Amino acid sequence: MDTAELAAVKVDKSVDARGTSCPGPLLAAKKAIGEIDKGQVMEVLSADEGTRRDIPKWCKKKGFEYLGTVEESGFFKIFLRK
Amino acid sequence: MANKKLTLALFSGSVDKLTAAGVILGGAAAEDMDVEIFVLLQAAFAFKKENALVNDRVSEITDKKDEFLASLKRLGTPHWTEAFKQAKELTNVNIHICGFAGKVWHGEKLDDFIDLADDICGIGEYMDSAENSDINLFI
């Protein structure tokens, strides 16, 4: 999805992991994914560059759909669908 | 499909390597891996109840120890015991204290070690685990 499409996505769960370093955001995502239903969308906010690469790989391994990443000022919004 | 398995031979008792082990455990937990940790020699010192939270030894770049420890604090990095605990909460992690290593540091009983430890074992269990793992690490 491009930035405009991601901006229009209905987010069911937002995880703010900007205060943590690797692997904090990934573990925050792992904890939160259990709180949404299949088909729902989660965004992970992270200031960690490594997480931007980790979440898509994690999604592929766990069978989730990585939707894309939007770069904000000083952090990333990473979107995925369970 | 069975979970993938990580076997970690944890030798180091220094916070730099224990912190690295905690980061790797986080990755394993995110992927629902089964993890078997074997606490060997110097790591058994760090796992003793009286040492775990006060031990601040580092094993690499020792002249930058203060900078390293300050950076961990600045970055909000959890203490390695917290990282291990979090991994145990998120996936199947078993922590075995090597019986010999325990005795080196006067730890004869499981109760001599922090609650993260699950049992005291011999080297045979490590060999079995290592033979049947997808990933083997020595830290």
The pLDDT value recorded for residue B136 is 98
> Mutate which of A15, A26, A27 to disrupt the B interface (most B C-beta within 10 Å)?
A27
pTM: 0.92
Which residue carries 């490590």 as its tokens? B126
When CB atoms are compared, the residue of A19, A27, A62 closest to B26 is A27
Share of chain A above pLDDT 70, in %: 100
Secondary structure (H, E, C), chain A: CCHHHHHHCCCCEEEECCCCCCCHHHHHHHHHHCCCCCCCEEEEEECCHHHHHHHHHHHHHHCCEEEEEEECCCCEEEEEEC
**Per-residue confidence band for B84, with pLDDT thresholds at 50, 70 and 90:** very high
User: pLDDT tens across B93-109, in order?
Assistant: 999 999 999 999 999 99
pLDDT at B1: 74
Helix (H, G, I), strand (E, B) or coil at B134: coil
**Whole-angstrom Cα distance, residue B29 to residue A63?**
16
In this prediction, residues A43-48 reach a mean pLDDT of 96
Q: Which residues pair with B10 in a beta bridge?
A: B39
- Residue B24: CA count within 13 A, CB half-sphere: 21
* Mean pLDDT score, A41-70: 96
Residues of A in contact with B76 (CB under 8 A): 19-21, 24
Residue B32 has pLDDT above 80, yes or no: yes
Q: What average pLDDT does the structure give for chain B? A: 97
Distance between the two ends of chain A, CA-based, in angstroms?
A: 16
Per-residue pLDDT, A30? 96
Contact: A23, B77; criterion CB under 8 Å? no
pLDDT above 90: residue B19: yes
Q: Which of B3, B23, B84, B92 to mutate to test the interface with A (most CBs of A within 10 A)?
A: B23
Query: How far A4 CA lies from chain B's nearest CA (Å)?
Result: 29
- The mean per-residue pLDDT over the stretch B127-135 comes to 97
- Whether A36 shows a pLDDT value over 90: the answer reads yes
Please check whether residue B29 is in contact with residue B90, taking contact to mean a CB–CB distance below 8 angstroms.
Answer: yes
Three-state SS at B84: helix
Question: How far apart, in whole angstroms, are the C-alpha atoms of residue A57 and residue B31?
Answer: 10
Check A22, A27, A62, A71 and give the catalytic one.
A22
The residue with tokens 């000022």 is: A73
Does the active-site annotation cover A59?
no
Q: Cα B39 to chain center, whole Å?
A: 6
Q: In chain B, what percentage of residues exceed pLDDT 90?
A: 99
Share of chain B above pLDDT 70, in %: 100
